[in-house]
Structure 1
Amino acid sequence: MPAGPCIADDREQLDNQTFAKRVHAAATVLRERGIRSGDVVAVVLPNRLELVIILFAAWRLGAAVTPINPDLTYDEARFQVEDSGAQVVITEGGRGIGTLDVADVTGGPDGADGVAVDSAAGSDALALIIYTSGTTGRPKGVMLDHGNIAAMCGMLVDALKLDETEHSLLILPLYHVNGIVVSVLSPLLAGGRATIAGRFSASTFFDVVELVRPTYFSAVPAIYAMLVSQPERRRPDTSSLRRAICGAAPMPAELIARFESRFGLPIVEGYGMSEGTCASTLNPPAGLRKPGTVGLPLPGQTVATMDPGGHLLDDGSLGEVVVRGPNVMRGYLGQPEATARTIVDGWLHTGDVGRFDADGYLVLVDRIKDMIIRGGENIYPKEIENVLHAHPEVLEAAVVGAPDPVLGEVPVAHVVPLPGSAVTVAELDEHCRRSLARVKVPVSIFRTDSLPRNPVGKIDKRKLRTLAASS
């Protein structure tokens, strides 16, 4: 429907016809600036409607887009621009790195149609270069082509049963695939609409929900923890929402239960990574949802576990989670060696340790690199975190290894109590001792008001390890 609502943000709302005209106009500007098929357009913008317009405009010209976190330093942003080989950088407010202001690209009159990507041959054309959060050094550019994007969106539309009545509320950043794929492209592909919220605020989030009346939103565990921490007196109207989606990091079953019981809204938890274009497993919205798992493999993908020798496991034992399917990235930009280490014989190696339960649901155990080796004993921090999360006064917990001159490494825990909680370190230690073998009990437990996070919202364990090493 040309006049049907398409996309909105804090400032304006566009119907389908107007959105298409704005895309055509932006494509015309980019073409006049020399952008052609195979080029890269960098965009340094906060979440706003124009970012989506530029995304579609570049694709009409056969160009790829690399969205850049606007909170990066100048040097960090410059690295991404140079590494991606971007021909143009679109910013707002005259940031020094920019070569085009967003107003000059999207603020003009409706223009002539750009050069469309050939739909038959365009699936292998590069669409997005998404940079990893760089927890293991310099960020790497994940190359996703139009085939990856189309496959992922199709899987999500089918799995979530999205239709033309869907209205997503985007609160995650548009410089990562979750925000782009789950909250913008998938609902639009299903014939629905999307609203782009401004910067997330836990205290005003449900005011936005009551005003916008979305059918779903996608968030990370940190956001759900912040919402649960809001004063109990607030009982918002969530009747428009059909589901909430959680990704980026495993969500403790206890936090899911707290959120669902308080807000009366089911959380659909999934799992995936940028290298797999977003999601590989999902708890079925209409079927059995199993908190503590990240659900079933999405149809169209093969998700398995593998031993260190490269043999697939089918007995429910622990192994590295591997993924195969049309959603697996083309590779890391300019890094053939890293690509060859990550994609082996068509299998995307995630670096996560997991197992499948008797019903075929994936249970994540931990990151391989996060495993603590204490005097020769392998310890998975997530097992300790699960025990801490089970304490009724714990909101969040993170466990890392600290160097030890005798044992090599020992576990230490950082715990965020629920607001107003007076739980003591001694009580948390006793709680751990009741449920964990002595070797797994943290040698130190630190109470803290918050945990450090990377730009995606995942707990930054590298910072915690650095803190542990210096204490």
Structure 2
Amino acid sequence: MTLPYLADALAERFGAAPAVADDRLSLTFAELDARVDAVAGRLAQEGFGRGDVLAVMLPNRVELVVCLFAAWRLGGVATPVNPAFTQVEATHQVTDSGARLIVVESDDAPTGGARPVTVASLATATPTGAAPVELAPDDLALLVYTSGSTGRPKGVMLSHANVDAMSDTMARHMELDADDHCLLILPLFHVNAVMVSLLAPLRVGGRLTIVGRFSPPTFFDEVERIRPTYFSAVPTIYALLASLPDEVRPDTSSLRFVVCGAAPVSQELLTACERRFGFLMVEGYGLTEGTCASACNPVGPDAVRKLGTVGPALPGQRIAIGGPDGEHLPVGEVGEVLISGPTVMQGYLNQPQATVDTVVGGWLHTGDVGRLDEDGYLQLVDRIKDMIIRGGENLYPKEIENTIAGIEGVLEVAVVGRPDDVLGEVPVAFVVAYPGAVLTEDDVLAACRRELTRVKVPAAVDVIEALPKNPVGKIDKPTLRRLVRSA
């Protein structure tokens, strides 16, 4: 099977056009294919072959991209590992995935028990000219591990059919072509970056430029220098950009649009960024278990974007709202978001029961609560597991967060449940203010009392300097829950 996102297919179609670059290295499509061939030959010398798993524990750089393609060239599976992982964390992923080899930056990097291959040793490899292994649609391409916010991280099995469908869908939805240029700032150990920023542009002849660690003060300098047509980021990054000094007014004219995903964004932050920076922001929604995205607002200038929603189902996918017994609910009803289509994962590695519990009759049970409007646009309400039960009443933190996000001076907010001897749980809010803004607990509580019923008003508000984040940049609510429970 010829897959249009593989290095040899890309080289044949786009040849001398620029493909991927970072601050040290720039490759055309033909040069990328040659490097992939060389690295695949080096991995084959180490005994890597069809069905084997390659762990890649590198920061964002061109060599990480090369290693993903090299694993596929040999018929293997890639599992990207967070380079900030400790030995314990790396060992869990490497051992659980059964990785034969791990590509690392240095000899002292944690290996999790797999045989290490340093990225420097790959630089001396030379092309072999060997033909790529023939791949089938149901061959595994990626093992992407969940963040582990509800337990030990699980390996999500994504086939080449999943990857092909997702990258093609995103390229079409974002109306990408060979003139597009993505600026990559999200980590490539996350499926969002692989699908939206890497494979979607490359498969249509577009290009990718990788920047180092995200830095708010210098980010727009990179935008002005590189002149990308789009980038994808999480709400935390947009919040940091929105908090830059007022005198920062960058030239963003090269950007056709920007994408916000991986976590819900408040309407206030989205609107503030669009007005200040002049770019079109589209919010999308998806899970690793759905190979990245299942809904997204459109990017076309005449298309209908609905603020407060994550858009309609992407082409080829279906979204339904499930009731308590799994029945599909009518328009406007609130229930669990269900997804079906060619991007639904193959399952969790080594966890058949978790797979059966999550994918039922072809429908992926997301654990998110939402509603569909009459046009099929999805509005997220909250996570099922985040729901707070106060004195028998079900409270969704996102409703409280939306109210607080609308208060002048609020940059970020998170609401979690705190155990209560009488009521069972009560909501507490953690709030981050814009730099220079004066915000007090009384300000927040007064606004909540005006707009929310009494049961939804937080029992306490803590104005803090920063919210804890997980490696993907999402607000780390499990850490906040542990803090309030220990207090």
For Structure 1 versus Structure 2, the TM-score category normalised by the shorter chain is over 0.9
Amino acid paired to 2:476: D
2:119 to 95, 99, 102: 102
Using the alignment, how far apart are the partners of 1:210 and 1:140 within structure 2? 39
CA separation in 1, counterparts of 2:258 and 2:46? 41
458-467 vs 380-389, which deviates more?
A: 458-467
Q: CA deviation at 1:290?
A: 1.2
Partner SS, residue 304 of structure 1: strand
Give SS of 2:217's match.
coil
Q: How does 1:368-379 map to 2 (within 5 A)?
A: 368-379=384-395
Q: Which deviates further from its counterpart, 253-262 or 8-17?
A: 8-17
- Does residue 47 (structure 1) correspond to residue 63 (structure 2)? The answer is no
Aligned structure 1 segments of 4 or more residues deviating by more than 3 angstroms: none
Per-residue CA deviations over 1:127-176 (Å, capped at 9, x if unaligned) read 00000000111100000010000000111111111111010000000001
CA distance in 2: counterparts of 1:297 and 1:170, whole angstroms: 25
* 1:79 matched to 2:95: no
* Structure 1: runs of 5 or more not aligned: none
153-162 or 90-99, larger mean C-alpha shift = 90-99
Q: Does 1:191 align with 2:208?
A: no
Q: Distance in 2 between matches of 1:340 and 1:374?
A: 31
Stretch deviating more after TM superposition (342-351 or 356-365): 356-365
Q: What is the distance in 2 between the residues matched to 1:167 and 1:456? A: 22
In structure 1, what is the Cα distance between the partners aligned to 2:331 and 2:249? 45
Separation of aligned partners in 2, 1:310 and 1:254? 34
Q: Aligned partners of 2:126, 2:278: CA distance in 1, in Å?
A: 44
Check if 1:272 corresponds to 2:286.
yes
- SS at 1:210 equivalent: helix
Partner Cα distance (1:372, 1:292) in 2: 22
What corresponds to 1:434 in structure 2? 450
Q: Which residue of 2 aligns with 1:404?
A: 420
Q: Which residue of 2 aligns with 1:155?
A: 169
Aligned CA distance change for structure 1 residues 2 and 409 (closer, same or farther; 3 Å): same
What's the CA shift for 1:359?
2.4
CA distance in 1: counterparts of 2:150 and 2:248, whole angstroms: 41
Rounded to whole Å, the distance in 1 between the matches of 2:16 and 2:76 is: 28
Q: Offset of 1:428 from its aligned partner?
A: 1.0
Give the whole-Å Cα distance in 2 for the aligned partners of 1:434 and 1:334. 50
TM-score, normalised on structure 1?
0.98
Number of residue pairs matched by the alignment: 468
Structure 1 residues 91 and 114: CA distance shift in structure 2, 3 A = farther
CA distance in structure 2 between the aligned counterparts of 1:307 and 1:118, rounded to whole angstroms: 43
- The one-letter amino acid paired with 2:45 is E
Q: What TM-score, normalized to structure 2?
A: 0.95
SS of the equivalent of 2:306 reads coil
Tell me the distance in 1 between the aligned counterparts of 2:201 and 2:321.
Answer: 31
Question: Residues 362-411 of structure 1: CA distance to partner in whole angstroms, max 9, x if unpaired?
Answer: 00000000000001000000000000011121111100000000000000
Q: CA contact under 8 A between 2:388 and 2:417: conserved in structure 1?
A: yes
Q: Deviations over 1:191-211 (max 9, x none)?
A: 100001101101110011111
* 1:291 maps onto 2:307 in alignment: yes
Alpha-carbon distance in 2 for matches of 1:257, 1:388:
16
Q: 2:483 aligns with which of 455, 463, 467?
A: 467
Aligned partner letter, 1:240? S
Matched AA of 1:102: V
Deviation at 1:115, TM superposition (A): 4.5
Stretch deviating more after TM superposition (179-188 or 107-116): 107-116
> What is the Cα deviation at residue 117 of structure 1?
3.6
Q: Deviations over 1:9-31 (max 9, x none)?
A: 01111111111100100111111
1:96–1:284 CA distance, 2 compared to 1 (3 A): closer
Q: Output the aligned Cα RMSD.
A: 1.0
Kindly report which structure 2 residues correspond to 1:35-434, keeping only aligned pairs within 5 A, or say none. 35-94=48-107, 95-97=109-111, 99-105=116-122, 107-119=123-135, 122-286=136-300, 287-434=303-450
Give yes or no for contact 1:27–1:114 (8 Å, CA) kept in 2.
no
Deviation at 1:470, TM superposition (A): 1.9
How many angstroms apart in 1 are the aligned matches of 2:447 and 2:375?
Answer: 30
Q: Deviations over 1:263-311 (max 9, x none)?
A: 0001111000100000000001111111211111001001111011010
d(CA) in 1 for partners of 2:79, 2:148: 16
Question: Equivalent residue of 1:297, what SS?
Answer: coil
Contact preservation (8 Å) 1:43, 1:51: yes
Preserved CA contact (<8 Å) 1:271 1:279: yes
| Distance in 2 (alpha carbons) for counterparts of 1:159 and 1:61 | 31
Hey, what's the Cα distance between the residues in 2 that align with 1:113 and 1:312? 53
2:474 counterpart letter in structure 1:
K
Work out whether residues 60 and 114 of structure 1, in 8 Å CA contact, stay in contact via their aligned partners in 2: no
Paired with 2:117 and 2:143, the residues of 1 have a C-alpha distance of 19
Q: Give the secondary structure class of the aligned counterpart of 1:351.
A: strand
Separation in structure 1 between the aligned mates of residue 446 and residue 224 of structure 2, nearest angstrom: 43
- CA drift at 1:315: 2.7
